Amino acid sequence: MANGPDPADRTPMPQAPGIAFLRPFTEGRDTVEIGEYTYFDSEGDGARFFEENILYHYDFIGDRLHIGRFCMIARGVRFLMNGGAHAADGFSTYPFNIFGGGWEHGFDPATWTAAQRGDTVVDHDVWFGRDATVMPGVSIGSGAIIAACAVVTKPVPAYAVVAGNPARIVRRRYDDSTVDALLDIAWWDWDAQKITRNLDAIRGADLDALRAAA
Which segment of 77-81, 82-86, 186-190 scores lowest on mean pLDDT?
A: 82-86
Any catalytic annotation for residue 57? no
Domains detected in the chain: 19-83+119-173 (2.160.10.10), 175-214 (no CATH)
Q: What are phi and psi of 54, to 5 degrees?
A: -110, 110
The answer to pTM > 0.75 is yes
Within 10 Å of residue 147's Cβ, how many Cβ atoms?
Answer: 18
Q: Which of these, 182, 88, 76, lies nearest to 131 by C-alpha position?
A: 76
Task: Name the band, by pLDDT with cuts 50, 70 and 90, for residue 181.
Answer: very high
Identified catalytic residue from 66, 86, 105, 124 = 86
pLDDT per residue as tens digits for the range 96-134: 888 889 888 766 777 767 778 899 999 999 999 999 999
Across the range 88-100, mean pLDDT stands at: 85
Determine the Cα–Cα distance for residues 91 and 200; give it in Å rounded to an integer.
Answer: 57
Q: Are 116 and 82 in contact (CB under 8 A)?
A: yes
Q: Which pairs from 200-208 meet CB under 8 Å and 24+ separation?
A: 207/178, 207/181, 207/182
